Structure 1
């Protein structure tokens, strides 16, 4: 290991520069922004000597280059200009010369790394609101492509991340070329990560490890530098292994396992064109990006006439095609490779056309094409042509007659399969073949243990809950043969207990419905029974529950029960859809099942805190949505059916997408004893190493939580002692921030367990004490960030407060207003208790909107509420109080600044509508009042501050 415990940042920086020089980088001195611009201009001219024909760029022409390259563009647009097109991966700028002639200038050669100039610099300083000093910059052709921030060993790793965020915010306006940065690297010598630049906020959850081909971390800065920052690899990352997501306008840098898998496929296609292969990458690791990039590069780098990405029909309307479509470059003409129609003729037309080498289709449509005599003449030439198939979820779509038919027709084809759960001897189906039998060699693997370790997916918290007992012993279907019957498992009493358990715990498990859940059951009959029980036991629809299934495949199962139930699964679904239409204001039917399916998918995926009435909280399914459905907001799977092997892993994996610090793992609540099946599946798909698959059990977390609480109370024995820290300096406050953050992190993991009760930690610690410390923590956060606006540098500036940890409970304005409106005016005792509860919540408020109204709400509780009669409308009284308070505030402000109330109200209206005030009108008004320059500047600032906060402070939203 290179770094020692005593190595300073300067020593680490110098060591890195020497290492980069040893692998071919040239050192260049870039002390400031002006030098950066001058250097880029010089390198640009040097690389384009022939095009310039001896006439250097004038100042106006160089400014035109900067405008064309950066201008008023987003980072997403700048990154695309840098790379050129997929067909011509060379970045070029086209400007008009002073003599009106056209000039093309090459800025980046995406084909050959050695046709670019690689340099390194350090300690470039940018003067902005603060002085920002960049540790190390990597330049390609004079452009800053990579920014590296270093911290000495032992310093909190996230400080470097926060520093990058601050530099982006504070100095990119002055250093415009810094917007060309494509990749950030942070390191303390022993720990190193990389992540992509982009528009908007960056997320520390998406800092990636770099690894070797076998997924071993290359964490040491020396190892990272000689591999990731080698000129060929960095060039390939920029030129090849970047994906542009047009749906989110985001640039994505591929992860190492995605790159290695893509390279293995390309190598197999070139070196062994008659041998197939498959990639085993665990569910949720981003197989779609890998398969997309492999498809794109196969078309460019092999002699294949067509590359066909083939999926099964179940996925057609789900995430895969949506993502694939978003990753494709925008076209100005021609036919899109994404044909989502049911018309086989459209596929045949694509196969016979030269417009698109890349085709996306389904196994069903391809089978129809090769099996229909109508298309025989057109497709016959493909018997001998070179075609490459990329097949997603190969275990689902590529076993059986359809695959045989396709293989028979495309005799010279090569097949590459992607799967998160391969077929082995243990889980082999009636087809009798494994994934290896079908595809041959495994080209790359990235297992769930690797993904959990890297933070690319979450582990699972699994609770097995017994739902019935006999003679004081838990009964399971494994223990008692024959117990798995309709009489027991579908009894009204059992199903009612399960629904009651979900209704009682769902909000707690899903962080007050910030997340949603899937409930998988054995058959459509049970799906409908559960649906009706939710409606019966939750008549106010506090949880929005619906169900979806295909009925044709399940009617035989229901036939024997039609007489007693007098309903088929389709008839039951008809009523569900009718209820759905009433709940969401839609107009679906089972005749238009695809439309209903698409709307359910959207509501499950786009689960939104701002519009909770549009959400689905629990979706009851039989088999649908258990594969191929990806949503970061899905956190919980309720299970009342027998799962095993790949079906179990696929179902569990719906819950483990990374979303944020609030979601520490996927929750599995099993109402059947499937522990043995889970253990078998985990062992099989972890390749013998299941470490990381399961979240720690409750006792482990309890011990950790107790330990962190003890550390906090050592630093601050009580809540009041936090206030004393402000007089003892930043070091003391830092200790409290670190200690309470550690408590919060464990709390967010442990609170979802059924075993968790605050009584286990009392009297040393309690729910009330947690909330009180939470308020102090939030105050510390606000204090530190207020200092930044006052240009005061603190050792706490780069502390990662992990502020999202505070947002686990939705104590917001609506919540408080509802509590106030519900105060009992009939009983003085009840009223006092209600007010005390609300005041406690206000004292510990962490919601910004709520914090701004605390003083007014407390004034209402203390001064207005005692004057109300028992039959008064509290909600209306509160609205009137807030409105009158706002009018009084406007009146007082207007008099203080010698402005008319109408003028101030106009500025408030302008701000609310346009998002800003009309500065010229303000200056004109202040000038008319005879104010001097400094007085006008101060008054203008006060007006803007008042106008920007007035609505937030006095509104009840």
Structure 2
């Protein structure tokens, strides 16, 4: 059996494993019957029945259930509606019960008793949204509601995951009234298995289940991912909706976040243990983990209506957390406005969530709340509970459970040891759960960082740095940017030197040039971190002399007594929110944020690539700041961010051991000099020169192309080269322009041309130029004057005549094969919708390509088969011209497609014509067969009879193939 079949190798096994895991398979025809039409998303009868079963005394009859169904169908077809659909699944919605004369909670599923739910799966799920029609591969239903869609691709499709992801994005655009109910999606082509949340379509939010679950075959991956109990838990407990700068976003938690949540809940239920430390690196979703834990604590009946305190140490974080809680939909949230207010809330035995800054516990009386069901979640625990504040906090709540969260490694100082002592006493290793920087990089949650020291004449005076910054005793293990600021306020010589107008002017000129050459061409954005608020203003004014003023913006805290030149840059909340939103979006201004304190913690902008650092920092503060640039990012055009860059103007990275007071094993791999990338580029280029460039050595033109195409007919070889070139290209993207690259440039261009040749030949469905990153695309356009494989012009007609010309061209056989296959693919793509008979020709061409790549046939045999295919194409074109009335007869084109499918499967022309004539009448009689199940059944009968009449043995398989082909033409 061929492994290139998507259905046989991937889709059918997935369905089999799903049923073995506990889902009931429903054939497409039966699913359509249960849905009552292609424009209906629910298994209607199942949903109506389950609504009554799960809501006794609330949904007491079918009419009431139908009312709920109408409400679900009326949801807004966007992310706002998707959140409302999720609230229905969570049981957060109500319905008015006349008998009780009040609203009662409505349950669409029961996560506590999985056996009371009904789990269905179907495939080839056709959904019609207005004039548009999609066909999803596999859809999963709980109680008749679609909750998960999986797109499968053939195991041999190199770009299968990318293509499947594009389909998911297309479904959101073309069938939002279906996607409004779906909460999760997955993508697989056997080897890889990715998943994500619907309405969250950034590539960075696509997670690799194979990596997260560990090793295992396809069966293990599918059954573990689709275990009904697990799917229910993810749907109801691990999806979050939140607003970020006013925009609604959606996330599904990753396994390390789920693991930490479960461990905290277990600790909260353990009467013998009252402490725990969650050590999850910056950028790994720590805030969402905290919010999920808070929600689960409140919802768990075991905790008997608890109080959950969320403690932060900065006013900005307090406001962010409070806004997040409101956006997520918490109903009982109290923001402690003052020390007195916090004391009143605790003394009044307030339940629900209380958000407070740590300093509001100052002088708090002991034993203010002695209940055991009080849970304190402390953000940035490495700096929040130091000194007396921690004692007041724990003294006021003597029986509470305290869970600390930190995103930075625990430092070697007494301060760091104190964090372990405060929160880690109940665990031998000192923490309840750990997700290290190294793990986050391996998982793709964060990207590695590289630094580059600025030219010597721009780096801060080393003596002043040594005397006034490095020697400051209070900076040992510093955990708060305010401590850094206090030291810098006293470091008069250093701060005056940093803000020297001549130095600021030089650095601004350097930043402007560097940004235009390195950062902007990649489509990314930057932070410029100034020594203080006044420094931000000085840099803004200097930068405006080199860049358009709208490219940059200052974001600083406002002070009541600020002088006029600072007040000019005060922003209202709305203005700052708009700037933060625009900064996250490619192509919009501002492109550079000038900051000193604000946005250095808690601000997440994946498009941020470069940080120009001109403020002395160290330890936790430094790690938190540079973590702003470690978020992965991929644009809709495929632009990938694989690292973050820090350009250092103060010399901090001259001595990393000194700058980061952490164990080397914790920060290893976090940040490396740009020289490491240069060494890697040189190493990769050596590999390219020794492994790949010699393949076509001594050959030119078409002979070189033939040698390369022949060598890379082996799929594993191609994939290895693609992987090699992508890494090489990513490093080139970061380093360019640089004099270091000059000796490598010619060979790099040759490798890029080789990559283009292979992609254009073996993957004709992928736009080659779009697969290049921006800087490589530029040099390819500038220096690749001719392509080794025929690059068609859009100025002439694609058709059999042009293909015959290619067939007779003076070129090596291997090159001819790929030129013909490429042009046949373009022909089918361009005209398959208007002339669907071409789709069957495309299928034959694809089969020739597969056999040729797998060396089942050689180039001469492939050319003979392509010659025959082109002859048939020319005959089809000629007959279509002779039958000039096809366009005038509504169903003649479909009949002509049937005729040519049969002729391509070795049915004599006159017999194929007989079937076509019969089917033209059938298509006219049953014009809605694609959407009407009854008409499809009648049409099938006609086709069965017509195929029997010409002695076809397997009429069912042939009928399915022909009707699938016609559907594809409609979907094209």
Bin the TM-score by the shorter chain. 0.5 to 0.7
Q: 1:534 to 1:151 in 2, by over 3 A?
A: closer
Q: 1:78 to 1:480 in 2, by over 3 A?
A: closer
For residues 90-127 of structure 1, the C-alpha deviation after alignment (integer angstroms, 9 at most, x for no partner) is: 77888999xxx999985322333232122344455668
Q: 2:226 aligns with which of 219, 225, 229?
A: 229
Q: 2:552 aligns with which of 544, 549, 568?
A: 544
Q: Within 2, Cα distance between the matches of 1:266 and 1:547?
A: 39
Match for residue 457 of structure 1? Answer: 446
Match for residue 374 of structure 1? Answer: none
Q: 1:505 aligns with which of 501, 514, 537?
A: 514
- Aligned-pair distance for 1:626? 2.9
- Aligned-pair distance for 1:24? 3.2
SS at match of 1:316: helix
Q: Within 2, Cα distance between the matches of 1:32 and 1:480?
A: 77
Match for residue 390 of structure 1? Answer: 377
Q: 1:64 to 1:256 in 2, by over 3 A?
A: same
Q: 1:673 to 1:142 in 2, by over 3 A?
A: same
Match for residue 269 of structure 1? Answer: 268
Q: 1:337 aligns with which of 326, 333, 338?
A: 333
Q: Within 1, Cα distance between the matches of 2:419 and 2:252?
A: 33
Q: Is the 8 A contact 2:519 2:610 kept in 1?
A: yes
Where do 1:726-805 residues align within 5 Å?
Answer: 746-747=728-729, 749-753=731-735, 756-757=738-739, 759-763=742-746, 796-797=764-765, 799=766, 803=770
- Aligned-pair distance for 1:669? 0.7
Q: 1:691 to 1:513 in 2, by over 3 A?
A: closer
Worse-matched range after superposition: 484-493 or 391-400? 484-493
Q: Is the 8 A contact 1:70 1:179 kept in 2?
A: no
Where do 1:570-649 residues align within 5 Å?
Answer: 574-578=564-568, 580=569, 588=570, 599=575, 603-604=579-580, 606-607=582-583, 615=590, 617-621=592-596, 623-649=597-623
Q: Is the 8 A contact 1:268 1:275 kept in 2?
A: yes
Match for residue 665 of structure 1? Answer: 643
- Aligned-pair distance for 1:681? 6.9
1:243 equivalenced with 2:240 (yes/no): yes
Worse-matched range after superposition: 598-607 or 170-179? 170-179
TM-score, normalization: structure 2?
A: 0.62
Match for residue 456 of structure 2? Answer: 467
- Aligned-pair distance for 1:235? 1.1
Match for residue 23 of structure 2? Answer: 25
SS at match of 1:107: coil
Q: 1:737 to 1:718 in 2, by over 3 A?
A: farther
SS at match of 2:375: strand
Two-structure CA RMSD over aligned residues (Å) = 5.7
SS at match of 2:735: coil
Match for residue 700 of structure 1? Answer: 680
Q: 1:103 to 1:435 in 2, by over 3 A?
A: closer
Q: 1:360 aligns with which of 351, 355, 361?
A: 355
Q: Within 1, Cα distance between the matches of 2:777 and 2:10?
A: 44
Q: Within 1, Cα distance between the matches of 2:698 and 2:309?
A: 65
Match for residue 298 of structure 2? Answer: 299
Q: 1:144 to 1:465 in 2, by over 3 A?
A: same
Q: Within 1, Cα distance between the matches of 2:777 and 2:567?
A: 31
1:258 equivalenced with 2:238 (yes/no): no
- Aligned-pair distance for 1:419? 0.8
For residues 184-222 of structure 1, the C-alpha deviation after alignment (integer angstroms, 9 at most, x for no partner) is: 1222333221111228xx23332113489xx66356433
Q: Is the 8 A contact 2:6 2:152 kept in 1?
A: no
Worse-matched range after superposition: 275-284 or 671-680? 671-680
Q: Is the 8 A contact 1:69 1:93 kept in 2?
A: no
Match for residue 405 of structure 1? Answer: 392
Match for residue 902 of structure 1? Answer: none
- Aligned-pair distance for 1:467? 1.4
Q: Is the 8 A contact 1:309 1:391 kept in 2?
A: yes
SS at match of 1:461: strand
Q: Is the 8 A contact 2:437 2:667 kept in 1?
A: no
1:180 equivalenced with 2:186 (yes/no): no
Q: Is the 8 A contact 1:631 1:657 kept in 2?
A: yes
Q: 1:150 to 1:596 in 2, by over 3 A?
A: closer
1:147 equivalenced with 2:144 (yes/no): no
Q: Is the 8 A contact 1:192 1:220 kept in 2?
A: no
Q: 1:654 to 1:574 in 2, by over 3 A?
A: farther
- Aligned-pair distance for 1:35? 3.4
SS at match of 1:519: strand
- Aligned-pair distance for 1:306? 0.8
Q: 1:222 to 1:685 in 2, by over 3 A?
A: farther
Match for residue 920 of structure 1? Answer: none
In structure 1, the gaps of 5 or more residues are 372-378, 553-569, 581-587, 589-594, 785-793, 812-836, 845-851, 853-933, 938-957
Q: Within 2, Cα distance between the matches of 1:527 and 1:291?
A: 33
Q: Is the 8 A contact 1:636 1:666 kept in 2?
A: yes
For residues 481-515 of structure 1, the C-alpha deviation after alignment (integer angstroms, 9 at most, x for no partner) is: 99987498776665554333222212233315954
Q: Is the 8 A contact 2:91 2:108 kept in 1?
A: no
- Aligned-pair distance for 1:460? 0.9
Q: 1:488 to 1:90 in 2, by over 3 A?
A: closer
Q: 1:421 to 1:683 in 2, by over 3 A?
A: same
Q: Is the 8 A contact 2:278 2:405 kept in 1?
A: yes
Q: Within 1, Cα distance between the matches of 2:777 and 2:556?
A: 29
- Aligned-pair distance for 1:416? 1.0
Q: 1:319 to 1:737 in 2, by over 3 A?
A: farther
How many pairs align? 738
1:73 equivalenced with 2:76 (yes/no): yes
Q: Is the 8 A contact 1:546 1:576 kept in 2?
A: no
Q: 1:604 to 1:69 in 2, by over 3 A?
A: closer
Q: Within 2, Cα distance between the matches of 1:534 and 1:745?
A: 34
- Aligned-pair distance for 1:279? 0.7
Match for residue 41 of structure 1? Answer: 44
SS at match of 2:418: coil
Match for residue 434 of structure 1? Answer: 419
Q: Within 1, Cα distance between the matches of 2:313 and 2:457?
A: 39
Q: Within 1, Cα distance between the matches of 2:587 and 2:621?
A: 33
Q: Is the 8 A contact 2:277 2:433 kept in 1?
A: yes
Q: Within 2, Cα distance between the matches of 1:716 and 1:347?
A: 77
SS at match of 1:108: coil
Match for residue 16 of structure 1? Answer: 14
Q: Is the 8 A contact 1:70 1:78 kept in 2?
A: no
Q: 1:467 to 1:601 in 2, by over 3 A?
A: farther
Q: 1:500 to 1:187 in 2, by over 3 A?
A: same
TM-score, normalization: structure 1?
A: 0.63
Q: Is the 8 A contact 1:127 1:171 kept in 2?
A: no
- Aligned-pair distance for 1:28? 3.5
Q: Within 2, Cα distance between the matches of 1:124 and 1:141?
A: 17
Match for residue 328 of structure 1? Answer: 329
Q: 2:91 aligns with which of 89, 92, 98?
A: 89
Q: Is the 8 A contact 2:225 2:231 kept in 1?
A: yes
SS at match of 1:653: helix
1:111 equivalenced with 2:91 (yes/no): no
Q: Within 2, Cα distance between the matches of 1:802 and 1:147?
A: 31
